[in-house]
Each structure stands twice: as structure tokens, then as C-alpha cells.
Chain A
């Protein structure tokens, strides 16, 4: 399944490793290390699947996601899913708005895989991503 995925995380190493993991499954992955970079990347080419860290150097992930989704809508994407990758406790995770899902750290990779697959399935059905 190919798709455009945007990773937004100021931890370069973590972002690159995540990219490596996703590229193994053939996905196209871009990275942004700040909120500003993410917005620019989204403008250049809207990605339907977003993996966003909550604690970015220039803003909170929860504030960035609505902006990215707006750009996606403007660019004509039929759907956009944002997954939060962050380490806060369950109670805080439950209160993060704007994200469709929030994953805790340390990450359970099977859960992660499953979530990516189900999100891509949803996007496909909505026509937001190609074959």
C-alpha cells in the first residue's frame, strides 16, 4: 500500500527511524522537524496521513494538526488522518483534541502497524489515497 505520510517530530533520530520502518512497507514518507516546516511541506504536497509529535519547538502538535488538516481540505484531499506520537499519560492523551488517534511511548509496534493499516484503509475508502 503506497501512501503519502508526513512525520512531524523535532527528534531527528526518531523521525528517521520511523521513516525507515514505514518505507520498508513501501510508503512514501516526508519529514518535518518544526511546525513551520510541516506547514510548508503540506502546502507543497498535502499528505493524507500525519504522524505528529505533541511537543514541537515552535508550537504544540494539537495546535498544528487543525492547520494541516485545513490545508489538506484546501488542496482537495477527501480525508486526512492525524496520529499523535507522544509520551503523556492516558488521561492527557484522552484530552488531546484534533488528533484522530494518540499513541503512547514506548510504542508498541504491532499496535502501530495495525493502526497505520486501519488508517490507510479508511483513507482509501474515502478516496484520499491512491492504489
Chain B
């Protein structure tokens, strides 16, 4: 009762689905060796079709190890038995070893895949003497590559040593970037071939599943690109996981790519750093070539030595950059503090900082002042600054902003800000439009392709995509409108500079505010008495004047001006408090608002008898308010109404309790045209920071309403403008009871 044998049938991959191709279960091996997989009981589950031919031993799926004829199977059986012990967990997996059978020497490599022991047999083609020479050479290469060196130098040396060791026609050192695209950083090749150094390959050239596999299984060999592969025979339907196999056959896509280039043998070794595929050493030969197993293992170790060395180099380089950035930062802050001129200090350090961040240009801007460093045009700088200033929600007000694809985010910048695609923006003073920008060009701009026709390349059935030129063209497409991305070190450096600048600025502002507050407080306080005296003296003049009344009128004029001064001093002191975040000092007490308003209106009538003030007040209206401040608000509203209302029409003031204990409402209305939308939008706002030469709005109405708004808000209420029935209406709402936080001192 034998089960039928069959081989695995896999659908041929295409360019569209090659990133999903299951390359770990090809069901085939390369023809320069044989593979047999045993289960725990010593039964064969998978065997390559060439087992009997190569090993002289009849092993098929279903064969039992114990039932093997001996010889020639003894040697094999012994090796396999050792391996089965490991499979059962009774011993360690044996190291690769040599085995002699049928008059030939083989390298036997065992590994465990799932619940199976996989044994691979490779015939040796070199004598022990030759292998010994390889070993010495490999050892020397390792020593050389252990010594610390710049990374590019190291990779160049690695390609040279590998070439000397293995004899491949071309050895390249690839480095992968953040987006997994690769570039050929170093190369050693025979003079007949066109060098590939400097070329770029898109991420899709090595699909994701391959990259993952290359981290786990660090060396791959294709001994003969053109040779037909050998199928694995199996009884079950399940494929064998060949991730760790040394004879695994590779993707037909890859085979076609290699043969398009005229490459007949290929080997690649992974450079793994921190569990990531950092790079590859890729070897090509224009004739088939089988590198002895022991030499391949040595290459693997060489790659590990390289990895370790590169890792140290990267660390040292990053530390170096971080160090010099810290020094630069300290200098900048010192400079700012000493010169008290942020703009100039930033300009002085911008070039060095740009170099540190590997940026190709920089811009320092404060409002309309602009300084450029590097090749960036004024037009580009302005376009980018305008875009940043257009207060987009996704650009945070005080955090670093970075992108490597600016034209993709804002298409107009593709023309206005060409060729800049990478942006690292530090908003050190968002309000005043203070930015430092670091820029990078589009990647394609910085890469040059030789452009010579590649004489050895001939596209196969799947077309020109599978050639180096095809790769480069695709790479160009994927990086259109992008610059090299900013790496973690650069972002960290920029972030720290911004943080320090903001800290320094905050400290300066706090100091400035404190000084200004003190000045304002002293000024206001000291001005009050002299102003009061002037008022009084003017009153005396008014009342005691001579018969023709001129002195009296003089007295009145002086009083009117000094009243205005007193109001301005109050406003300036209030503004100073508000702008420094202290808020208006409110002292709440139970007050009869109706009585307050009545008194206030009486005074207003006396002062301006020509204005018709009509009131609608209840007999009493209790609320907890700062009486002086609420009076200030209503006086301001009445004054505005008087100034802006149609003459001959009354100003109406009404107050009432709101239903359901909703608090108190005070309404001032007068006949007037509606306030224009542009003004109405900012009615209760204070001065806006001027930008690009806009005139500040200094009308008295603007300031008074802002302070009124802050007073009402401080009470927990609100103040609104509306236009109803030809009337401009200002409504103040005060809540029923003050919230606990209002009283400040």
C-alpha cells in the first residue's frame, strides 16, 4: 500500500503578485545538492528527485531509515540518526560535517523545520588543501574588517576581500534606506563589466517576504542560474517550509532578473544590524559557480564582523553628531541671551546647524524679515513660509514640523518651492512669524545615472522591468517629489534646539512681563494723584472763573482732557494685566445692580445732557459683582452708543433678572446701521500682532470693548453684539452666582 508520489505545483509569480510569492515553500531545490526530510520516527517525508542519483541511496517519501540497505546508506543513516536525536530533544543539533559515500565527499547540513529533520547534501568539489587556503584567506579578511573605519571605506574593503576570497566577477555592497529602497554604496568588479556603483533600486526589487527571510537566513547561493531545479517528492499535500534550507531554489522572477543581466551565478550575504536588514553583499558571476560550503560559512561570519563594525561606526557617528549639535545649541542660546537679538543669533548659527542636520539650505524668518542660506530662492522661501503661516490645523503651533514630501502635501509648492521637498520647520515664535526652516532637495535631483547603454543586459519574457535600468526607472517614480527622510537623530537635534529656544524665550517673556507689570503698576499708581490734582484745579477754575466765562470754559476743557487721561491710564493698566495673563482684578460683592445703573445713568445725564438716555430698570436687582467694573462696562457701552448712534434717537438701557435663576441681563441699544462684518468679527478682540505691515486698529472702541469683554468673562458671563430692528444691541449676561475662581488679588 504505497501512496502516490507527487511534486508541488506552484503557480508562476507575476510582477504584480511577486510580493506575495511564498518563496519559503518552493518545493524545489537547486541541482548541485540533494535534500531529504525525516520525521521523528525516521520516516522520509520529503526527498528531492535526485537523491538516489547523487547519493546512491534509495530514499523516497515513505522510506524508513531503519530499512535502508547498507552500504551505501550507512554513512547517511549515521548522520541522520544523530540529527533525529536532536529532533527528539535528546541532544544538540550536530554541526555541519563531512561525509563520504559512493567515493565522494559531501558536506552534510542539518536543520529542523517544524517537526522534521532536514538533511542537505552538497558534494565537495575542492580538495582539503584548497579549502585550507580558503580558510586562511577568510581569516585574514575578518581581521581586516574588524578594524574601525568609516562605513563606506569598510564596505569597499569588504567587496574587495570577498572578491579575493570567492572569485566572483562582481561584488556589490548595498545599503537599505528607511523606505527599503537600496543603493550600491561600494563595488569591486572585473574591468569588462559596467560598474553599478551609485545605482538605486526600489523597495520592490527585494519584496518584503524576502527581506524578512534574509534576516533569518543570512546567506543565499544560486550556483547556476540557468540550471533546471529539482523537485521535491512528497506524499502529503503540505509543502515543506524551506526557509532555512541551503539548497532552496529561488523565485523565477529573480532568476529572470539575473539572466537578463547575463549573470549565471549569484550569492548574497545579509548585513543585519539590530535585527534589521541594514544591507547586503551581493555577488554576481557571469559563469556558473559553486562556492564551497565552508567558504560560504566564512562569508557569513565576515558579514557578521562587518555588521558589528558598522554598528559601532553608526553609534559613534550619531554620538558625534549629537555632541556637536549640543555644543552648537549651547552657543546659540548664549548668543541669543547676550545679543538679545534672536534673529541675528539664529542667522549666525544657521549654516552650521544645517550642516549638522544634513540639510542643503536654511531660512531664518521673523515676520517680514528673511535671511536665506544656501541655494534657496526668495520666492521658494516666501512660498513655504506663507504655507506654514496659513495656520493649518495639522501644523502644531509650537512643535517641530517635518515632511520629506512637501509638494505632495501642498501641490502649489511643487512649482513655487521647487526643487525643495524636505522641510524641517522650527516655529520659535509662532505669533510673530518666527521660523527656522531646513530644506532638502528632491532625491532624484541628487542622483546621477551614467546613462550608458548596458551592453550585457537583455530583457526576458517579463520585460524590461527586471533589469537595473528598469529598477532605476521605477525607483525614480517612487521617490518623485520626495527628499531623503529626516532620520531620528536629526529630528532629535532639531527638537532640542527648538525646546531650548522656547525655554529661553519663555524666561525672557516672563522677565519682560514682570518688569512691565511693575512699571505699569507704579506708573498707574503714581499718575493717579497728579491727574486728580489737575482735575480738581480745573474744577476750581471752572467754578471760580471770571465773569466772561472764559476761565470757566478753560477749566471745563482741562477737566475733560484729564478725565480722558485717567481713563487711558486705567485702560493701559488693565491691558498690561490682561496681556501678561494676570487678568482683571475683580472684587465681587453683593450689589444692587439696578441702583448702580441708576446712579451711573444720572451721572451720565449730567455730563451729557444732550443725549436722551432712557431706562427700563426694576426697583432692585441683586447680583454678586464688582460694582466699579460693571459700571465701567456699562459706561463704555453707553459712551459707544452715544458716539455711534444716530443723533436725535435715544439710547436705551435696560436691566432684568433672567428667568429660572439664570442671572442678570443688561442691554444697551441705540439706533444705528449694522456694524460691518469685518469689524464685528473682531469686536471684542484686543490688538492683533501686526504682520506684513498691516496697520494696527487703535480705535478707542476696540480697546474698551476688549476690556469690557474680559470683565464680563471674569464674572463668568458673556457679552454679545446683535443688530435688531435698526438697533445696535449690546447684551451683557451675568451669571447668578460667581464661580469660586474669580476673585483675584
Q: Which of B18-26, B458-466, B527-535 contacts A (4 or more CB under 8 A)?
A: B527-535
Residue in contact with B603 in the complex, picked from A14, A17, A25, A111, CB distance below 8 Å = A111
1/0 contact string of A63-103 vs chain B (CB within 8 Å) = 00000000000000000000000010111101000000000
Most B C-beta atoms less than 10 A away, residue of A14, A24, A106, A110: A106
Report chain B residues within 8 Å CB of A11.
Answer: 529
Determine whether A21 belongs to the interface, using a CB cutoff of 8 Å to chain B.
yes
In A1-57, the 8 Å CB interface with B consists of 11, 13-14, 17-18, 20-21, 24-25
Query: How far in angstroms is the closest Cβ of chain B from A105?
Result: 6
* A24 and B626 form a contact (CB under 8 A): no
A104 within 8 A of B: yes
Q: Is the CB of A14 within 8 A of B591?
A: no
**B539 close to A (CB within 8 Å):** yes
Which residues in B have their C-beta under 8 angstroms from that of A17? 533, 536-537, 540
Q: How far is the CA of A66 from the CA of B528 in the complex (A)?
A: 28
A interface majority secondary structure:
helix
**Measured CA separation A94–B596 after assembly (Å):** 13
Contact: A90 with B529, CB < 8 Å? no
Flag whether B566 is at the interface (Cβ < 8 A). Answer: yes
Min CB distance B597 to A, Å, is 13
Contact A91 B603 (CB under 8 A): no
Assess whether B589 is in contact with A21, with CB atoms less than 8 Å apart.
no
Contacts of B566 in A (CB 8 A): 106
Kindly state the separation between the CA atoms of A111 and B535 in the bound complex, as whole angstroms.
14
Structural contact, A24 and B540, CB atoms closer than 8 A: yes
Chain B nearest CB from A31 CB (Å) reads 14
Interchain CB contact under 8 A, A90 and B607: no
CA distance A2 to B236 in the complex (A): 128
Min C-beta distance of B287 to chain A, whole Å:
100
Q: How large is the interface on A (under 10, 10 to 19, 20 to 34, 35 or more residues)?
A: 20 to 34
Q: Is B544 an interface residue (CB 8 A)?
A: yes
List chain A residues, Cβ under 8 A from B603: 108, 110-111
* Given A14-B532, A107-B535: A90 in contact with B626 (beta carbons within 8 A): yes
**Interface hub of A24, A25, A104 (most chain B Cβ within 10 A):** A24
How many interface residues does chain B have, given as a range?
20 to 34
Contacts of B41 in A (CB 8 A): none
Question: In the bound complex, what is the Cα–Cα distance between A87 and B527 (angstroms)?
Answer: 13
Contact A91–B588 (Cβ < 8 Å): yes
Chain B minimum-CB-distance residue to A108? B603
* Cα–Cα distance between A30 and B536 once the two chains are bound (Å): 17
CB distance from A10 to the nearest CB of B (A): 11
Contacts of A91 in B (CB 8 A): 587-589, 626-627
Q: Which of B528, B627, B631 is the one whose CB lies under 8 Å from A105?
A: B528
- For B606, list chain A residues within 8 Å (CB): 110
Does B649 sit at the interface, judged by CB under 8 A? no
Determine whether B563 belongs to the interface, using a CB cutoff of 8 Å to chain A: yes
B589 touches A14 (CB 8 A): no
Chain A: minimal CB distance from B105 (Å): 106
A14 to B528, CA, bound (A): 11
Contacting pair B607 A110 (CB below 8 A): yes
Q: Are B589 and A18 in contact (CB under 8 A)?
A: no
- Across-interface contacts of B563 in A (CB, < 8 A): 106
By a CB distance below 8 angstroms, the chain A residues around B531 are 106
* Distance in Å: Cβ of A118 to nearest Cβ of chain B: 13
Residue of B536, B539, B543 touching A14 (CB-CB under 8 A): B536
Q: Which residue of B lies closest to A94 (CB)?
A: B589
Residue from the list B528, B539, B543, B627 in contact with A90, Cβ < 8 A: B627
Q: Closest CB-CB distance, A109 to chain B, in whole Å?
A: 5
Contact (Cβ within 8 A) A21 B627: no
- List A contacts of B535 (CB < 8 A): 106-107, 109
CA distance A89 to B629 in the complex (A): 9
Cβ of B628 within 8 Å of any chain A Cβ, yes or no, is: yes
Partner of A21, one of B528, B539, B626, B628: B539
Partner of B543, one of A13, A21, A87, A108: A21
A125 to B533, CA, bound (A): 33
Among B546-589, those with CB < 8 Å from A are: 559, 563, 566, 587-589
List the A residue with the shortest CB-CB distance to B606: A110
Closest to B569 in A: A106
Q: Please state if B528 and A87 are interface contacts (CB–CB under 8 Å).
A: yes
From residue 627 to 648 of chain B, which have CB atoms closer than 8 A to chain A?
Answer: 627-628, 631
Contacts of B631 in A (CB 8 A): 90
Complex Cα distance A78/B532, Å? Answer: 33
Contact of B587 among A18, A21, A92, A108 (CB under 8 A): A92
Smallest CB separation, A110 vs chain B (Å): 5
Report the minimum CB–CB distance from A119 to chain B (whole Å): 17
Q: Given A89-B587, A110-B607, A111-B603, does the pair A21, B540 have CB atoms closer than 8 Å?
A: yes
Report whether A104 and B628 are in contact in the complex, using a CB–CB cutoff of 8 Å: yes
**B528 near A109 (CB under 8 angstroms)?**
no
User: Can you name 10 A-B pairs with beta carbons within 8 Å?
Assistant: A11-B529, A14-B536, A17-B540, A24-B544, A90-B631, A91-B589, A91-B627, A94-B589, A105-B528, A106-B528
Give the 6 A-B CB pairs with smallest separation, nearest first. A90-B627, A91-B589, A17-B536, A91-B587, A24-B544, A20-B540
Q: List chain B positions with a Cβ less than 8 A from chain A.
A: 528-529, 531-533, 535-537, 539-540, 543-544, 559, 563, 566, 587-589, 591, 603, 606-607, 626-628, 631
